[in-house]
Structure formats: C-alpha cells, structure tokens
Structure 1
Amino acid sequence: MTRWLTGFCLLISLPVLADLQLKRVEPANWWVGMHSSQLQIMLYGEQVSGYQVNLDYPGVKLVKAERVGSPNYLFLTLNLAKDVKPGLIPIKLSQGEHVALVYDYPLLARDNASAERQGFSNKDSIYLITPDRFANGDLSNDSVPGLEDKLNRAALGGRHGGDLQGIINHLDYIQAMGFTQIWLNPVLENAMSSYSYHGYAATDFYRVDPRYGSNALYQQLAQQAKARGIGVIIDVVLNHIGSQHWWMSDLPSADWLNFAGQFVPTTHRREALHDPYATEWDKRHFSDGWFVETMPDLNQRNPLLATYLIQNSIWWVEYAGLSGIRIDTYSYSDPDFLSQYTARLVAEYPNLNMVGEEWTLNPSIVAYWQRGTKRHDGYQSALPSLFDFPLQAAVVGGLTNQENWNSGLREIYLSLANDYLYGHPQDLVVMPDNHDMSRIFTQLREDPQLWRMAMVLFATVRGTPQFFYGTEILLANPNSDDHGEIRADFPGGWPGDKQNAFTGNNLSTDASSAQAYMRKLLNWRKTAQAVHNGRFVHYAPLDGSYSYFRLSEEHNLLVVLNKNDQAIKLDLARMQESLKGFTSAKEVLSGQTAALPDILVPARSAGIYELYK
C-alpha cells in the first residue's frame, strides 16, 4: 500500500497489514551528522500505542517508546551514533510474534557545511513579505478543494492568491532592489475557515499550505534565492496553533494545551515575568493565556511537545537550506522552553541567526531575552537578536514631534542611549514598520521627505534593517489600521493590475522616486563596511539636526538628519574627536563633495557622508 506522508516530498511504500495503518510520521525523515544524537519520532495511527517497537540498524538505538493519553500516538526516542550511515531504518511494530508493520524511516545524507551555514547579519537588508499579498504566480492554486477559505480578493481579510511561485517569479526584482534576505510571514498550512491568509494559525507543522505551493516549491524558492545571494528566513510560531489543527480532534495528552484546552485569554502583561512584585496568577495568565479562541495555546512544559517544536524548526532549516528564523510572539511561550529551544538551535547551527518578536517599547524587557544581557535572575538565553520596537517608535516620534527639550530628534537619541541594556545591541533587527502596524509612510503623515530621512536612518544605524514589502513605493493605509489594508496587494503582482511596481508602469511620480531612492540606498549599503561593522557614535541633537558616525578601519561615515525647513551648515567643532584626520566628505546618494568643515545639509533631508583623509 502506498501512502502520502504529510510534509515529506517522496512517496514511500509502507507494508501495511489490515490491523495497523500509520496516518502520520513526524518528522518524516532525519539526517546523519546532526549535532544532537537524539531523535524523537511521533507515530500516529489507530491504536498504535498498543504495539511493541523494535529496530535493527547499525548505529541506531531505540532508547524508549513513550505512550501518552491518546492510544493513537507513540513517541519514539532514537539515539544516532556519530558514524551512522544514511539509509532506511526498519521500525518494526508488533504484537507478540505478530509483526503488524515494518516502516522504513529515511535517514538522509546531510549537505556539506550545513551545520556552518551563515545566518543573516548586519551586512544584510531584510525584505518582509506577506506571501498572499505579494504576487500570484500560480492561478491554479488560488482555491484548493478541502480548504474552506477560498479566493476572495475583494475582502480585506480574505485570501488574495499570492503564492511562492509569485515570489520566485520576482526574485530578480528583490535582488535588484538591494535586498539580501527574505522573511516570509508563515507559509505552513492554515486550514482555518476564514482569515487564514496571515499564516499565524498553523494546522500542520510539516506542510506548506497548498494555496502557496508545496514543500518542494518552498525548497526551490530558497535554492533560487540563494543563487542570487539572497537568504530565506522562516517565520516560526511556537506559542499556539490554529483551532483546526489536526491535533485538536485527537490531542496526544490532556496537558498538550494550556488551561486544559479551555479558552482563557492572555493578559498580554509581559511585565509580570520581570516584576519583582508580580503574582504567579499574573505570570501564568500572561504565558498560558490564549491570544484568541481560534488559537489554542501550546504547553511547551510538556517535554514531548517541546522536542517536537524544536525538531520542527531544525527540520525546516535543514530541509530548505534556510538562513534564519523569526520567532513570533516570543515571550508568550514558556521561558524555560525558550532557553532550551535557542540553545538547541545554536548548538545545531552556530552561525544561524534567530530574531524574536517581543513587542514592547520598554528596552529592558526586550534586552532581557538577548544572549549576553546581564539579567537580574540568571536566566539563560541563546537568542542572538530581537526586533527593536523601542527604536521604531522613537524614530516616528522623533521625525513627527515638535523639537523640544524632551521630544523630536531627542527621542531617537535617548532610545539609542539605552543600548547599555542589551548584551549585543549591534545584533538587533531595526525596522520602520512591519505587517502588524500602520505603514511607515502613514505613520510619517505621508511626507516623502520624512520617509527618506527614516529610510536613511534604518539603513545606517546599528543593527540589521528589515523593510516591509511596498515600503519602497510608499504603500500606505490612509483609511484604517485594518491589517488587510496594511497588507495591501503589491501592484503588478496580479494579471490585469493597472500599476506595476516590478516594471514601474503607471506608478506615481512620488512612488517611482522613492523606489529609485531605496534601490540606490540599499545597493550602496551592500558594500558599506562601516554600516556592517563600524562603531556607532552619536551626538546629542542640536537645533533640529541629529548626527552620528559609523567608524571602522577601512570605511567611515557621518550621517546627518536635518528636520529644519532650511539648509544648515553643520557645526563640526564639537565632533572633532570623531573627525580627527578627515579633511573631506562625499555625500553617498547625491555624489556631492565638500571640504571639511563646510558640510551643507539640505532642508528636511538626511545625508550620508563618506569621510576621507
């Protein structure tokens, strides 16, 4: 009998007797030469827990077979020797002397240098894409039998038909714009009845949603992106699943979900985890509470579930050849699990990057989760990066608020002055906006000059910049803050679109100008060593301007933001400790040169000045 195993892209022949059928085996394969010698395999089938397990394969030992609350699950723990060879591990399921099934489990050869893969870094610029809204490359999968949420491009919260093929078709555009990493909102199956396009309510951890394509197409996207010097970052959700996840009809155990599977809303009070006066009730109802009733909250304190989630992330990195992981709703998961998760991923891939979403404007809470941070409680974290939400808010306020003793550009200065809280502030991911907040052009009151200033800052400040698709053409959400409007269709991604941002056809003058500006900025950034690894030195804002330096042995920059309605001659007298030896400057984007100290910064603009001796 031949069965299709969800999440594995081969047809595997299963010798099955009538008394036992496996519906799922997860992960569907593994690899030799992994750092951890242990592998957990979840078997799912009718009454599978009633069978004994044996295997005979050189270098592989069955450590234990664990039975849980549901008789339809069996969790196997295998130990793999360092010198184990690729092949098919015969997993024998029997009752007494009766062999009901021998399942050949694939153990694959690992790609060379897989463990040493380089993750995203400060050399990169990340392009965040909501796949359903970027480009429709395959009209045949817009609606899929068996998946209730069908194509409805007229609905803000409906599926619009964007897919992986659409992204593949436009990799050349992404490359030409200067982006070197792609972060996709989740592409795993979301078999929810409505509002499924955003991807954050997974119903199968090992299957790409068919409306986006297939596992093989996701792998192809990563391969074709890599050929263009572009990495792919996976969006991982550890905290919750969708209420139509296949687990929900047959939970492995009573403690698989928090609050015994009953909806109790989270308080969203992340402060409770750090508050010296907090109660256990407040801590639990933050971490264990559910976002909404349709997103059951996972209990990562269950060791089988914890291992399942860790292995799932490793499987996707290895299978698709990924360069990073973005971790959704980071602090909502169990803290001890997060410590285990990050340590295991870093051990497996020392150079892989991971960035956590801790959405708070309190930098001390963001910093708590980063590796290297000095914490008050001895908590261990191997998480390399987090999103710098405090800086994002400070930039918007700094550019839109009136200059005063405590507002305006001073807000940016104060935010960066808090970097002493972080273990590694240079490793943060900085961003003008993302898929969950109003577009940066809207936040900046649709002012193209302020937009340019923001783009320069995020491209040159410390950290790795992330830009949301459409930022480069001034996409906005003027009518509402509905996520469906924020995640608007990228013009040109659908047949018949009147505007085409990929070709520039029928774009407004402002949009075309912004796109050209962004393209020049990001392509310059690719080789700007001072931005990649230079020291960050800034000077307190003065008279409506803010200046900072990026200084390295080979490349040195001065960046100036001028909010004034008139050009200013920069006062360099107070900056001599950073300007020693430099005699001239060249503005990167305009090409204009100046002898120091005669730098004239145009009104309401940002200048990037390369410094020369």
Structure 2
Amino acid sequence: MKKLLPIIIVFLFFSCVKKSKNASIELEVANTYLEKVDPPNWWVGFNNNRLQLLVKEDRITNYKVSIDYPGVYLKQVHTADSPNYLFLDLDIAKNTKPGKFDIIFKNDSITKKHTYELKRRSFDSNKLIGFDSSDAIYLITPDRFVNGDDTNDIIKELKEKQIDRSHNYKRHGGDIKGIIEHLDYIEKLGFTSIWPTPLLINDMPESSYHGYAITDYYEVDPRFGSLIDYKKLSFELRRRKMKLIMDQVVNHCGLNHWWMLDLPFKNWINHQENYENNKSNWNWETVITSNHRRTTNQDPYASEKDKSLNVDGWFVPQMPDLNQRNPYMATYLIQNSIWWIETLQLGGIRQDTYPYPDKEFMSNWAKAITTEYPNFTIVGEEWSYNPLLIGYWQQGAKNKDQYESNLKSTMDFAMQKNIVNALNEEESWDKGLIKMYEGLANDFHYAEPRDIMIFPDNHDMSRIFTQLKGDVVNTKMALSYMLVLPRIPQIYYGTEILMNDFEKPGDHGLIRSDFPGGWKEDTINAFIKKGLTPEQIDMQIFLSKILNYRKQSKAIQEGKTIHFAPFDGVYVLFRTYNNEVVVHIINKNKTAVTIDLNRFAEMNLKGRIFKNVISGERFIWNETMELKGKGSLLLTSIKE
C-alpha cells in the first residue's frame, strides 16, 4: 500500500487538474457571447425550410461548427473575405419542434456556444391579410407626431445627442408610445391602417430622425422605443382591426451601420473599393452617386454605364448602396423582411426607392414574401410621373422584356400630379379638370388599378395645402376625389388640419413639422381641437366624414368606375356596386351653375334618392341639379 500511495497521489493530482480544466472550459462555453447572429431567432413551419445565419465574431473562420437538434441540419458553412464572419446554411425539417438548441464553435483550444431559438408561429400565414382598396392609410413621421415618452429622447450611447424642436433637421422626440396613445384619434378619423416611416435604429451623428439611414436591420431605435413597444403598436392596431405597414429599405443602409467597420465580402456594398480607399475623406467628391435615371430599368437603348449608375450608385454619401447581387446579402435582406412580418404580424410593407436596387433581386424578394404570405401586400416607391413606369412594376404587367415584379402595388405619383395641376389651372380644352379625367383614363395600362396607392402628398413632397396655394376648397376637392378613386388612399398626418410648408415649400424638415398637441408644452392641440382655426376644424370633420363613409362603401372599395368628360368646369365620376351608387362631382365654377342630369342617363338614376355624405341633405335625381358654387359634392344612394 505504501508503494501504491505515491501513484494514487499523482493520479488524484492530475485528475483534479483535468477536472479544473474541464470546469474552466465549461464555464467558458456557458458564458460565451458572440458579437452577432442574424436573424436573432427563427420559426418552424415555413414553406421554405432553409435558413442562413450570419455569424459575426473575432476570427470565427478558425472554428468548426456543429449542431445537434432533431430536425435541424447544418448543410454548409461558408467563410467570407473577412475572417470574422461565417454564414451557416441550415435545413429545418417540416416536423421540427420549436425549442432552443446550441450552435457549438470549436477550435484547437476554445469552445464557444450560441443558444438559438426556433419559435412556434403564432398565426396562419394564409390568414395574414395585407392592405387593399378597402383601407385608408395614415402616414406618420414618428419623430414629429407625438412624444409619448420623454425619457428616451436622448440615448447617451448613440451619436446624435441633441433634441431641438426649433431645428427642422434635428430630433424632436416623437416615438412609438406617442402613436399608441393616439390610435383612437386615428381610428375615429376613419383610417384603417398606419404607415410610420422607418422605426429601426439610425445611429448617425445628425439628421437621421427620418429613419432611412438604418444602422442595424434587427434593432428598433431606442429613441422611438423598444421591440416590445413595436409589438404593442401592432397588437393595439390588430385589436382595432387595423393594419400596420412597415417602411423598409433594401437599397441602402446608414454609413454607421455596424458592418461598415468590417465588411464581410469585397462586394458587400456597391463601389466598395472606392469607399475603402477614401474612408478618411468621404464626401461628395469621393462618392459615386446614383444618376437617378430610373428609366434605365426599362429603356431598351440604355447604356450599361447609365444602368450601373442607377443601380450601383450611392443615394447620398451617408447611405452606402447595398449589393443585392451578392447572394449572402440577398438572403440577409429577404430573411430580415420575413422576420419582421412574422414578429409584428404586419399588414404590409412599403419598400423605399424601389427602382434603385437590382431589379431581379427585387422580384425574388417580393416572391419570397408572397410565397410565405399569399395575401400580403407590398407597395413600392416609384417616383415617376409616367404611367408606363408605374405600371411596369406592378405584378401582372405585360412587359416587353418579360419582367415580372411580383409586386402587388406601386405609387401613383402621376395621378397625384394630374390632380394638383387640374385644380391649380384655369379651365380650357387642354387644361384644368381634363387632366384629372385623362389621368384616370390611363388606368387601361395598369394590371390592377385598384391596387395602386394614391396620395395627396407624403413625407418627401410639399404638403397638399401648399401645392394648392392655400386654397381650402381646392384641397377638399383633391382629397374627396382621391378617396373615391379605384385606388388605395394614403393621407399624410396633419393633412386633416391643413398643415403646410408655406415658409419654405419643399423643405423636408418643414414638411415633417410637429403635429400640434404631440408635446406637453404645446398650446395648440389638434387631437382635441384646442386652438385650431374654424377652417382646420372644418377640414378635420370633412375628411373624417368621407373616410368613415368609405369604410363601409363597397362601391368605393371595389365597385365599377364610370366618369364623364369635364364640361363647363364640371367633372362627374360614379362608383357602383350592386344597388349602391356613389357620385362625386367637382365644380370649378366660382358661381352657381345648373347641370343637365340627362347627360348621365346611362346610369339609370332617375327618381333615385341620394344623400350628401358631408351635409346629410337629401336629393332626388331628376332632370337638373344646381351646384351652388366652387367645390366638391359627394352623394350616396339611399336604399328604397
């Protein structure tokens, strides 16, 4: 025994050392923190069972990866040009159960662990209904709407640290909580959906209140609130049977996006070499900006140079242009959109700067979304006054180049301009109301006019009241006409109280002015009509009556459209559905006129009783109608 004692002591010593080493390894594994894993979680039960994880961690390419979870298969591990990235291709079997599992990363001396979660889906994707022509959308710039939580106005860790409501391009403090607290107001006005401009983090040093310079595609800007707040906004809208539309940006990100310090691939962004060579002097002289020639997407004669400048050029120097032709970038962006749809149960996506990214990617992106959510709606921003370009991007278009966008809706800048011009111009054979009439006649070109979005203005253009030169009657005519068209209408916050940018027309900061009553110190409060002028209150009531009527009008939402060419300064449009008839009349004459109703005999309305949607007055359709002066008239048939 004495001879064995030294051997036993040595064995116990090394055993303890081994246990100690194992314990330290286990401790290291248990407390590993990886810099980034995107998407941060996923779900079981998608049609597409593939998932690609972006993993960001120092020297991660030196690690071997393994996963041991029933139904989850690691198919391939891709390295990047940077040693600090891996891209993991996973297959998730149809019968995989939701739960958490560990992704193990090992090299010769270190083991790291990341716990990943597959969640159970909380709704049937076939029952997720996107916005359509039955909806009316309220567009909000969140920083300028309501400051519901002043404790998050300044976040010391972020680069922009100033709140200054006197400055049009600094942050003012509006947030998600402010929107939630005023959903009753929005609902009572008659809106069924809201579209906030982007709520994701913009950690830029200045002028990023608008949200279009995203610096992390999976993080809510803490100055707007948290992911919990965003989810609550969606829940509160669904509780009211309203929809949340998310403003997304796949064309560009913010210059301070986290990956700009260490780009995964040499072609992650467009003109990357130029950027990396000029980081220390990045300005207008060094950036290769877009030529903004969006027609190069369709032009059969376009040069390759011009095509490249449109697709690859940077929107502005502070917004790097993403290269969607890189397959890893493409997958990242597609998965991000699906992640937000699933997380928030969205009612739609508005995609910024639609004609600027690679158009084949945009088709694949939209198709990937609608494959998972067949009744979902995406609207793309195509700022063009040419109906040919607007129609090109809508799914079902018979394009000569055979391009299929898979995009349900696009934005009708052409009709918006026609309406403004028609109301501002004096009447003649080729000016005035005829422009509205002929603008609507262009609907023959669209695959589905009813799915196109119409609007009086938005966050990038002068307020409609400004465009119409401060004419209240013209503004009412524009709004009432848009709201009865075979379209999806969008109204910008504050239109209901005649907000304007008279001081400096077209100035973005002024267009996006604070909504009165959204801050504790405001002396005017439009939410409760405190301090508003009689004209502002009248416009609130006018718009609300039309919107609330529109909510229950099948004729407006999906009915047949018939209009008659303008005559003597009067333009008449009808919407019909079964026995419901809606009549919209615009009269540009400054004095009373009498119109002959026999001109509209084909509508077969003689003897029908109509009600004025605004005033409630009744009218029997017979031989003539007196229009008392300039303005619009909205009539609805009464069941006999």
TM-score, normalization: structure 1? 0.95
Alignment CA distance shift 1:15-1:338 (3 Å): farther
Matched, 1:267 2:281: no
- Correspondence for 1:140 among 121, 127, 151: 151
Stretch of structure 1 that moved more, 468-477 or 531-540: 531-540
Matched, 1:231 2:243: yes
Matched, 1:437 2:461: yes
For 1:600, the equivalent position in structure 2 comes to 626
Q: Matched residue pairs, number?
A: 599
Contact 1:562/1:602 (8 A) holds in 2: no
Q: Return the offset for 1:16.
A: 4.3
Stretch of structure 1 that moved more, 296-305 or 565-574: 565-574
Q: Return the offset for 1:611.
A: 3.0
Deviations 1:105-134 (A, max 9, x none): 100010132442111111111000000000
Deviations 1:318-368 (A, max 9, x none): 101110000000000101100100101111111111100000101101110
For 1:530, the equivalent position in structure 2 comes to 555
For 2:17, the equivalent position in structure 1 comes to none
For 1:258, the equivalent position in structure 2 comes to 270
Contact 2:545/2:613 (8 A) holds in 1: no
Alignment CA distance shift 1:66-1:19 (3 Å): farther
> Counterpart of 1:407 in 2: which secondary structure?
coil
For 1:493, the equivalent position in structure 2 comes to 518
For 1:505, the equivalent position in structure 2 comes to 530
4+ residue runs over 4 A deviation: 14-21
Stretch of structure 1 that moved more, 254-263 or 267-276: 254-263
Using the aligned pairs only, state the percent identity: 44
The residue identity in structure 1 corresponding to 2:228 is A
Contact 2:607/2:620 (8 A) holds in 1: no
- Tell me the distance in 2 between the aligned counterparts of 1:494 and 1:583: 49
Contact 1:15/1:103 (8 A) holds in 2: no
For 2:315, the equivalent position in structure 1 comes to 291
Unaligned runs of 5+ in 2: 1-25, 275-286
Q: Return the offset for 1:578.
A: 2.3
Q: How does 1:29-178 map to 2 (within 5 A)?
A: 29-95=41-107, 100-149=111-160, 150-178=162-190
Alignment CA distance shift 1:261-1:350 (3 Å): farther
> Counterpart of 2:337 in 1: which secondary structure?
helix
- Correspondence for 1:24 among 32, 36, 45: 36
Alignment CA distance shift 1:319-1:16 (3 Å): farther
- Tell me the distance in 2 between the aligned counterparts of 1:314 and 1:165: 24
- Tell me the distance in 2 between the aligned counterparts of 1:581 and 1:52: 81
- Tell me the distance in 1 between the aligned counterparts of 2:607 and 2:216: 58
> Counterpart of 1:22 in 2: which secondary structure?
coil
Q: Return the offset for 1:584.
A: 2.9
The residue identity in structure 1 corresponding to 2:139 is L
- Tell me the distance in 1 between the aligned counterparts of 2:484 and 2:327: 43
- Tell me the distance in 2 between the aligned counterparts of 1:337 and 1:575: 48
Matched, 1:312 2:357: no
Q: Return the offset for 1:569.
A: 2.5
- Tell me the distance in 1 between the aligned counterparts of 2:79 and 2:606: 71
For 2:23, the equivalent position in structure 1 comes to none
Q: Return the offset for 1:20.
A: 6.6
Contact 2:394/2:408 (8 A) holds in 1: yes
Q: Return the offset for 1:82.
A: 1.4
Q: Return the offset for 1:201.
A: 0.5
Contact 2:247/2:349 (8 A) holds in 1: yes
Alignment CA distance shift 1:489-1:548 (3 Å): same
Contact 2:32/2:114 (8 A) holds in 1: no
- Tell me the distance in 1 between the aligned counterparts of 2:399 and 2:534: 50
Q: Return the offset for 1:554.
A: 4.0
For 1:578, the equivalent position in structure 2 comes to 603
Unaligned runs of 5+ in 1: 1-13
- Tell me the distance in 1 between the aligned counterparts of 2:596 and 2:131: 37
CA root-mean-square deviation: 1.6
- Tell me the distance in 2 between the aligned counterparts of 1:157 and 1:246: 24
Alignment CA distance shift 1:183-1:558 (3 Å): same
- Tell me the distance in 2 between the aligned counterparts of 1:554 and 1:337: 45
TM-score, normalization: structure 2? 0.91
- Tell me the distance in 2 between the aligned counterparts of 1:579 and 1:156: 54
For 1:278, the equivalent position in structure 2 comes to 302
Contact 1:128/1:469 (8 A) holds in 2: yes
